[in-house]
A and B are shown apart, each in its own frame.
Chain A
Amino acid sequence: MTTAAPIPRDALGLGLRAAHYGHLLSRWPEVGYFEAMSENFMGDKRASLDRLDAVRARYPVVLHGVGMNLLGHAPLDESYLDALCRLADRVDAPFVTDHLCWTSAAGLSHHDLLPAPHAPELVELAAERAAYVQRRLGRPFGLENLSSYVSFERSTMTEWDFYAAVVREAGCWFMLDVNNLYVSSQNHGTDADAYLRAIDFSRVLQVHLAGHSREDDGTLVDTHDHPVADAVWALYAKAWREGGPFPTLLEWDDRIPPMPEALDELQKAARARG
């Protein structure tokens, strides 16, 4: 069980990225907490773990994964969970999150966050697995909504009903990504406001913000290589009014700006709250 103090509900955090280590480990800027990408530190990665330990000595660190394969056809990978639990214990993460998606199939890993049909039988599957993961971790486990580019004929539920049902049945938590919510609603022509209304904000562990890109055909792609879009800030402000406070974290994974610039972008969240 975790002994970590909870992240304050109004905290602002930043995704921990190697590009920022130089600034971070010499200046120690004021940041509420950091979110480490779990897989970057799982296993025998001595150099990475040394840096993570140095960060953890000064800041709370939460973990965010991209490889759990919660909705994969194959059973959960116990060796993956062993490594994740060890890492969560090492940093005493106040919470751990991953995505409501699949990443691997037929023994091959695709290193992407892939959508599945929104079907009741997958609610049961995902909820059972998420509840199991949360028990193994001994700390709150949150599921993030995806950015997606395709939908399935087999879906019989809206994405928000599917997501809310999994969290409710699992007894786990929402990790609400407002950029993903916006990207998917634009790509599929769905109602972002209805999505927000379906969220029980008392079960939101954290909210993510990030930038996206627009393809030539208008498809929005979750690239994390731009500042947060104005429309996403507007949706974030609405989420805050509906259900704030909640810890808020900025992700930036490509064309990463210098850390002071990323922190300036993060501060916009405080202003967006009104």
Chain B
Amino acid sequence: MRDAPAWLAELQARFGEAMRTPLDRASGTLTATPARYPAELVRATGGAEARLAVYNRQYWFRLFTVLQTVFPLTVNLLGAWAFNDYAARFLLAHPPTSWDLEHVPEGFEEFFAHELGAHPHAEALSSAARLDAAWRALLREGPAVPFGPRAEDAARLADARLVPSPSVLLWEERWALLERKVSLVGPRVDEPASPPPRHDAPRWWCLRREQGGVRHLPLEPGEGALLGLLRERTVRDALAALEASCDPEQRSGLPAKTQRWLARGVERGVWRAVDFEDQRRTQV
């Protein structure tokens, strides 16, 4: 297939530069600054700076909209104006490279956590961004389906690993963010909302993709800890680690509780498979 003419690469590169020119915030609104567009491009379009500004604004507003849609809780806590500032910094550092708009937000939560620095609400804000990102990941999945091991696998289950379902996530919450997130309705506002209260002790939730959305189900503290351990260890090791973390009083009722928690995890579709590979490697 023939190559494109060389001048096209130059023209498109300059056009792209103009589109990515940051919008000015000094006036209190996001304003294009056509004087900063590449002179070669302006000449190539017969001096159409004002019209190039249409593309420049569309580029930024489209991407701001993508990020605001994926991070609504973060927008709520920061206000749209401040959020867009972080979004612009992220997009300048990580301009989109894929045809797929869904890739645009990838990595924003890590970038944002770093950029927050000494912000007075840094911990709550970065947690909010992680929750928004987790929610988005669930929405991309289909509904969770209950999964349980086969009866014939029961005997060797202790040394197997349970494989987490991508349709269910565990969420350890230190700030009352979930209730805020699910209560968000109406248009986004520029003003930041008051930060949510901090819990006295962390709370655990199961975030489950269902038909029509994401449901959040409360977990008992030990249940959350166990499900977290099961994501990283064999069943036997997870149970042992949980038991070791309990004081004697908690330990006395633990077997009955763990049975209940394991059964509930299966019902909720927390797992999608059992991996006996670790066991086979041990046997070899």
Binding site for B on A (CB under 8 A): 39, 42-43, 45-48, 50, 67-69, 71-77, 80, 102-112, 114, 116-117, 121-122, 124-125, 128-129, 132, 149-154, 187, 215, 217, 219, 221
Contacts and interface: CB of A to CB of B under 8 A. Distances in A.
Contacts of A103: 99
B43 A153 contact: yes
Given A112-B62, A122-B8, A150-B48, 11 more contacts: A47-B209, A50-B142, A67-B100, A77-B99, A110-B16, A112-B19, A112-B58, A124-B2, A151-B48, A152-B44, A187-B51
A112 B61 CA distance: 11
Contacts of B100: 39, 42-43, 67
A114 B52 CA distance: 11
B4 A114 contact: no
A108 B95 contact: yes
Interface in B227-254: none
B62 A149 contact: no
B61 to A, nearest CB: 10
Nearest to B48: A150
A214 to B, nearest CB: 12
Contacts of B12: 72-73, 102, 105-106, 114, 116
Contacts of B11: 116-117, 152, 154
B182 interface: no
A114 B97 CA distance: 16
A108 B16 contact: yes
Q: Please name the 3 residue pairs, one residue from A and one from B, whose CB atoms are nearest each other, closest first.
A: A67-B99, A105-B12, A73-B9
B50 A109 contact: no
B15 interface: yes
B140 A45 contact: yes
